[in-house]
């Protein structure tokens, strides 16, 4: 076994690898960019080495700097985690050339399976069924269009060099092929430095099932069962589970054998995953999609049902040890489900989010595991992948595992950074998910019913209660009663204090509070349009503040016979995985700032990120829906389009500009206002 291992990654996967290194008594070396100097993986490692500035190209993607860090720290091996250089054949070879063990497959296997076109040809020759699609590498746009027409729409465009859903485009309309190919090439080039594409037949309502394989350097190859990964958004997995309810024992054995043959065909060593597309109505008809030559994000569900620590066996195999067990020794026990917690805002179309983690509570306990790179004070920016952590639940059966995971997500608190925890909790309660009736399009079809875009009345009531409590005089010493927000009046009933509050993306709301005999009373004025038709009774409640065992302050309300409890800190409130940023609203200041763009439409950044493309200049005339700019954050592009025909009168950014959420990017004066 190695004495020292460098972990060439960041975030939750770096923390996960360090945990196993510690258990094995192996010294861990973390690496970090300037943006991650205070990150959790840096604190948990035995030592850490600075790589350079925040951009990944100058830090986590710099093979030269990683190798220098390994040399200076005395590391004998490098664990790449996933993402960054984990599937970079040149980096694996550079490690070998430097005398370092690369904890992964040989460079030749990465190179072969990293090219989806060659990978399909190789496994086809080994007798593994593949998805019908284009053949040959380096196809031109016209050749891709011709191949798509031969296959027949719908088709899926895929980058040959990458994974993780980046650059993939589902095309149902043949007339859009040219436009979608251009977009897929652009995203593939930005993500992988290679814009080579292939086209495959799209299977409607497919299941995405993958097989975990493990191979040593002595010729032993086996599989550890399957993972169901059909719950996806934009081709990105969000929920994974093991085993799959779709497969019977015969199909599981057949798919496992095919995965083993795929691994053998490329001389694989280490932990890897063979991915299959499976028609939901015919599980026996499965097709090879690709092989991921690394540890998968969803590896914990396999660990929980097999009892095998995959990181440990990555290390042991890389150190030259043979596998001490065979296929007949692998047992799948119980059920495990994983949810990926990402920095994104479902209420804003799942746009990437960011901010500072002001309050954090991550679930644990019987049957619950959290793999995380977070800590209080963590700054979540737009430079890296949006995944923050993974919450995994295990039970003797699927129903138990689902129930435990829903409860764990409800108890997850990440105030300061919007996440998808509440959305995932609702998804896991969807009848189709509970029944195991899954496919890769289910989330997109049901997404509107799973996203709660409205702000519940009790959120504003709780926010006002927190503010009222902050202004209440504390015991001891004299306080001028007129200087606090208690509403105290000489010789009369306490007056109401008005709090003007606003959640971004929603209209401001006025909430009234006053101190009463039973605590603070809170109400919304009768007829408030946010809460129903005019003349309805006022929404009101009473409540108080508390401190739970987890340490995050809480506020509890009693409203119309129901009790509501929120975690809170600063301007943030959270409940059941959902969170709201409730800000103080100044009506006068809002009116003044709105006047700056009177008679015009300001286009603002929908997320914090970087402007990558600017297609217009001040004075240009544009049409409604015309693409004006592209903002990129966390490897995701968002196109800013003209809301109407008119003239660009202001343009405040250039390519490379870093922008904050809601920052004004451009102003388009409507054509009718120009003429008037």
Q: Is the pLDDT of residue 524 over 80?
A: no
Quote the CA–CA distance of 484 and 543 in Å, as a whole number: 19
Name the strands in the sheet holding 4-7, side by side, starting at the edge strand that comes first in the sequence: 47-52, 27-33, 4-7, 77-79, 101-102
Closest CA to 131 of 43, 230, 37, 198: 198
Tokens for 76? 């004998």
pTM of the model: 0.84
pLDDT of residue 589: 73
Strand pairing of 27-33 and 47-52? parallel
Are 389 and 368 within 8 A, CB to CB?
no
> What separation in angstroms does the CA of 657 have from each of 183, 198, 283, 380, 446?
21, 33, 48, 18, 36
Does residue 523 have a cis peptide bond before it, meaning omega lies within 30 degrees of 0? Answer: no
* Structural domains present in the chain: 4-103 (3.40.50.20), 133-201 (3.30.1490.20), 207-450 (3.30.470.20), 457-584 (3.30.700), 598-675 (2.40.50.100)
Are 240 and 393 within 8 A, CB to CB?
no
Segment 615-621 mean pLDDT: 92
Tokens for 399? 């129903």
Percent of the chain with pLDDT over 90: 64
C-alpha 361: how far from chain center = 18
pLDDT of residue 135: 77
Q: Is the pLDDT of residue 546 over 60?
A: no
Q: Is the pLDDT of residue 549 over 80?
A: no
Tokens for 334? 């119980």
Segment 14-34 mean pLDDT: 98
> What separation in angstroms does the CA of 285 have from each of 246, 566, 602?
12, 48, 52
Q: Is the pLDDT of residue 526 over 50?
A: no
pLDDT: is 604 or 101 the higher one?
A: 101
pLDDT of residue 351: 87
> What separation in angstroms does the CA of 612 have from each of 236, 307, 635, 639?
22, 45, 11, 10
Are 210 and 223 within 8 A, CB to CB?
no
> What separation in angstroms does the CA of 596 have from each of 169, 649, 650, 665?
40, 13, 12, 14
């Amino acid at each position: 076994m190695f004495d020292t291992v460098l972990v060439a990654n960041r975030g939750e996967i770096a923390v996960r690898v360090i945990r196993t290194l510690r258990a094995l008594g192996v010294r861990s070396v973390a690496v970090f960019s300037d943006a991650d100097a205070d990150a959790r993986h840096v604190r948990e490692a035995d030592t850490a080495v600075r790589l350079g500035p925040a951009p990944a190209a100058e830090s986590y993607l710099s093979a030269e700097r990683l190798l220098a860090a390994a040399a200076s720290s005395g590391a004998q091996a490098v664990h790449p985690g996933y993402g960054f250089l984990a599937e970079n054949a040149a980096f694996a070879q550079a490690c070998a050339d430097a005398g370092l063990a690369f904890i992964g497959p040989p460079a030749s296997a990465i190179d072969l399976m990293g090219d989806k076109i060659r990978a399909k040809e190789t496994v086809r020759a080994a007798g593994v069924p593949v998805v019908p699609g284009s053949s040959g590498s380096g196809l031109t746009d016209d050749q891709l269009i011709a191949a798509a027409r031969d296959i027949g729409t719908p088709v899926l465009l895929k980058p040959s060099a990458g994974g993780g859903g980046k650059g993939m485009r589902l095309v149902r309309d043949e007339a859009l092929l040219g436009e979608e190919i251009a977009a897929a090439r652009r995203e593939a080039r930005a993500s992988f430095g290679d814009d080579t594409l292939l086209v495959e037949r799209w299977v409607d309502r497919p299941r995405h099932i993958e097989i975990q394989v493990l191979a040593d350097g002595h010729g032993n190859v086996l599989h550890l069962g399957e993972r169901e990964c059909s719950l996806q958004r934009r081709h990105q997995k969000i929920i994974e589970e093991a085993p799959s309810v779709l497969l019977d024992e015969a199909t599981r054995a057949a798919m496992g054998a095919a995965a083993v043959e795929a691994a053998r065909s490329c001389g694989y060593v280490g932990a890897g995953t063979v991915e299959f597309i499976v028609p939901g109505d015919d599980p026996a008809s499965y097709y090879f999609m690709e092989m991921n030559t690394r540890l998968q994000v969803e590896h914990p569900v396999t660990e929980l049902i097999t009892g095998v620590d995959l990181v440990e066996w990555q290390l042991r195999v890389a150190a030259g040890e043979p596998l001490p067990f065979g296929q007949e020794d692998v047992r799948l026990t119980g059920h495990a489900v994983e949810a990926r917690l990402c920095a994104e805002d479902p209420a804003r179309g799942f746009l990437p989010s960011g901010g500072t983690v002001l309050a954090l509570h991550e679930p644990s306990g019987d049957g619950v595991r959290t793999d995380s790179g977070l800590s209080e004070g963590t700054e979540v920016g737009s430079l890296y992948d949006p995944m923050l952590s993974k919450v995994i639940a295990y039970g003797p059966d699927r129903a138990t595992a689902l129930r435990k995971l829903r409860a764990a997500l409800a108890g997850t608190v990440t105030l300061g950074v919007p996440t998808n925890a509440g959305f995932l909790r609702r998804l896991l309660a969807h009848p189709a998910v509970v029944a195991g009736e899954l496919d890769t399009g289910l989330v997109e079809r049901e997404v509107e019913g799973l996203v709660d875009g409205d702000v519940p009345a009790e959120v504003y009531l709780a926010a006002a209660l927190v503010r009222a409590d902050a202004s209440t005089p504390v015991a001891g010493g004299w306080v001028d009663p007129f200087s606090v927000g208690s509403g105290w009046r000489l010789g009369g009933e306490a007056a109401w204090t008005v709090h003007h509050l606003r959640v971004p993306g929603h209209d401001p709301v006025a909430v009234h509070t006053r101190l009463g005999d039973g605590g603070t009373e809170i109400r919304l004025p009768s007829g408030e349009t946010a809460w129903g038709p005019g003349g309805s009774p006022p929404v009101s409640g009473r409540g108080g503040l508390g401190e739970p065992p987890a340490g995050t302050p809480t506020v509890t309300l009693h409203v119309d016979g129901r009790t509501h409890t929120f975690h809170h800190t600063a301007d943030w409130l959270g409940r059941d995985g959902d969170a709201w940023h409730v800000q103080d609203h100044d009506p006068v200041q809002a009116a003044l700032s709105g006047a700056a763009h009177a008679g015009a439409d300001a286009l603002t950044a929908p997320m914090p990120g970087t402007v990558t493309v600017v297609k217009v200049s001040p004075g240009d005339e544009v049409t409604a829906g015309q693409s004006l700019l592209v903002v990129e954050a966390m490897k995701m592009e968002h196109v800013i389009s003209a809301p109407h025909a008119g003239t660009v009168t202001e343009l405040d950014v250039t390519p490379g500009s870093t922008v904050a959420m809601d920052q004004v990017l451009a102003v388009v004066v409507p054509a009718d206002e120009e003429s008037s």
